[in-house]
């Protein structure tokens, strides 16, 4: 089972979602308080299950309602995803992947691991 790791950074508090193998599969923005960070985790747990996938790497993007995972290419040309909550706010982002399949596997890992993941500090 995956786990959320809460950690303090210079500007506040953030979380990483780690898969069973210890790999970071998603990370959060920086929150001002631990309580806000925990609310973000609950939002990821709730929204990751219902999220569809919007592929923004194609010429004709088919819009998907929130909550959703958006797949896009970064400046390096790597594939990334971001999870948006029902209100449209980005609640988790991924690392860069060389292949689209790896990015989609990352999304599946979030869907599988996030709902029941424990929370650690």
Residues 6+ apart with CB under 8 A from 60: none
pTM score of the predicted model: 0.94
Distance CA 23, CA 5 (A): 12
Pairing of β 79-84 and β 90-93: antiparallel
- Tens of pLDDT along 49-107? 988 999 999 999 999 999 999 999 999 999 999 999 999 999 999 999 999 999 999 99
List alpha helices for 11-83, DSSP H: 34-50
The reply to whether CATH 3.40.50.261 applies to domain 3-120 is no
Q: Which two three-digit tokens encode residue 101?
A: 């399949």
Distance CA 37, CA 73 (A): 27
Where are the chain's structural domains?
A: 3-120
């Amino acid at each position: 089972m995956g786990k959320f790791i809460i950690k303090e950074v210079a500007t506040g508090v953030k979380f990483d979602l780690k898969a069973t193998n210890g790999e970071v599969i998603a990370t959060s923005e920086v929150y001002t308080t631990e309580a806000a960070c925990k609310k973000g985790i609950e939002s990821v747990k709730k929204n990751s299950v219902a999220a569809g996938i919007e592929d923004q790497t194609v010429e004709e993007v088919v819009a998907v309602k929130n909550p959703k995972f958006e797949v896009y290419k970064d400046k390096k040309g790597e594939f990334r995803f971001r999870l948006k909550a029902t209100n449209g706010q980005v609640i988790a982002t991924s690392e860069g992947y060389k292949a689209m399949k790896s990015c989609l596997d990352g999304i599946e890992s979030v869907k599988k691991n996030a709902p029941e993941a424990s929370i650690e500090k």
